Amino acid sequence: MPDAPIDLRSDTVTRPTPGMRRAMADAEVGDDVYGEDPTVTTLEREVAERFGREAALFTPTGVMANQVALRVLAAPGTEVVLEAAAHIVAYEAGAHAQLGGLQFRTVDAPGGTLTAELVRAALRPPSFPYTTSALVCLEQTSNRWGGTVYDLDTIDGVRAVADEAGIGVYIDGARIWNASVAAGVPVDEYGRRADALMFSASKGLGCPVGSIVVGDRDLVDEARHWRRLYGGAMRQVGVLAAAVRYALEHHVDRLAEDHANARLIADVVAAAQPAAVQPATVATNMVYLDTGEHLASDLVAALGTEDGVLVGSMGPHLLRLVTHLDVDEAACRRAADAIARRLGA
Ligand SMILES: Cc1ncc(COP(=O)(O)O)c(C=O)c1O
C-alpha cells in the first residue's frame, strides 16, 4: 500500500487522536440550548478564565465566531478597520456585509500587521457626513501573511488609538495559541487587550469542530443570541467541547513542534533555493514559498500526484505549507526535499 500523503495544505486537516476520541466518547452531555451541557459549560468557564475574561461561547466554526462577535461590536452601517488580506475580509463569503450590514475599511499593512499609525490614518473623523468607525480587527496569527505574530506593544498601540476614538478592538485569534507559544505570551495578555476575541480549536489544536468567543458577560450573552439566530445553537455538544478540553490540556505546548517543523521546511528549501523563502520570516506553523518561474498550480499537481505531498497554492507563484500534529519531523523533511528538488528542476 502506498504511504498516506503528507498533507501540508492546512492545519485544519488533522483527525482526532485516539485520546481525543476517548474523551469525546466519555463526555457527559445535556441540552446546551437549555444551558444543561456540563462539558460545554465547564469548557466555557475554563476558557474564560485562561483568557482572563468573564465568559466564553462555543460556536461551530471560526466564521460564525467572527460573525457573532462582530454583530455585538459593530452596528449595521458602521465601518470596521482591517488588514486588507484578513480572513474576515477575504474568506468569509461576504457574510459581514450581507448579514451584519458592515462596511470594511481595508488597510495595506506589511506583514499583515496593523500599527497604531495605520489605524489612526484609517479612522474617519467622528462628524457628519462621515461613516462611523466602530471597530478595529486584528488577526493573530495572520493567515495570509504566513502566520506572523502581533507583539504586545503593537497591540497596545492599536488599543490606545481605539480608546482615543472610543471604538472597540477585536482579535480574530483563530491561531492565537500558536502566537502564544511562539512568543511565550500567556493568552490572558491578549484577552485583556481586546473587547473580544475568538480562537479556533479545529486548527493547530487538532479538534474536529469548534471555535470559542471570549469577552465580558454582557457581550457573550448577546453573542449567544446571535449564535441562535445564525443556527449555531446546538444540543448535546459536550462531545465536541470534550475534544476542546482535551486539546487545551494536551495539544498546546506541542505547537512548538509544529513551529520547529515549519522552520525546518524553510531551512531545507532555502538551502537549495535561497530565493524561495527566508527562514527567519517563519514565525509559527506556516511557510510561504515563492516558486520563481514555476507555476504554483503545476507544482501542487506534481507534488500531489508524484511525491505524495499536498500543499496549497495561494497565487500564481506562491505556495503555502502548514504544519500540524498529523505531520512529524521526518514527513516535513521528506516534503521539503521533494519541494526543493522540484523548484530546482
Ligand atoms: C484567521 C482565520 N479566521 C477565521 C477562520 C475561520 O475558521 P473556520 O474555517 O472554522 O470557519 C480561519 C480559517 O482558516 C482563519 O484562518
Instruction: Give tens-digit pLDDT for 59-91.
Output: 999 999 999 999 999 999 999 999 999 999 999
Helices 62-73 and 217-229, axial angle in degrees (round to 10): 120
Cell 497604531 sits on residue: 116
224 pLDDT tier (thresholds 50, 70, 90) = very high
Mutation choice for ligand 1 from 13, 63, 83, 286, CB with most ligand atoms inside 8 A: 63
Dist. CA 139–CA 136, nearest whole Å: 10
In the chain the domains, ranked by start, together with CATH numbers, are: 18-250 (3.40.640.10), 254-344 (3.90.1150.10)
What is the average per-residue pLDDT within 294-298? 98
324 and 285 Cβ atoms separated by less than 8 Å: yes
Mean pLDDT value across the chain: 97
Q: What is the dihedral of CA 65, 71, 77, 83, to 10 degrees?
A: -30
2 pLDDT tier (thresholds 50, 70, 90) = low
Dist. CA 79–CA 70, nearest whole Å: 11
What is the average per-residue pLDDT within 21-33? 98
- Length reported for the chain: 345
Bridge-partner residues for 7, per DSSP? 310
Query: What phi, psi does 326 have (nearest 5°)?
Result: -95, 5
Relative to the CA of 175, which ligand 1 atom is closest?
1
pTM of the model: 0.98
Q: Which of 177, 253, 245 is nearest to 210 (CA)?
A: 245
68 C-alpha vs ligand 1 centroid, how far in Å? 14
3 pLDDT tier (thresholds 50, 70, 90) = confident
Residues with CB under 6 A from ligand 1: 61-63, 66, 87, 139, 143, 172, 174, 200, 202, 211
Relative to the CA of 202, which ligand 1 atom is closest?
10
Return the C-alpha cell found at 248. 487545551
261 pLDDT tier (thresholds 50, 70, 90) = very high
DSSP 143: T
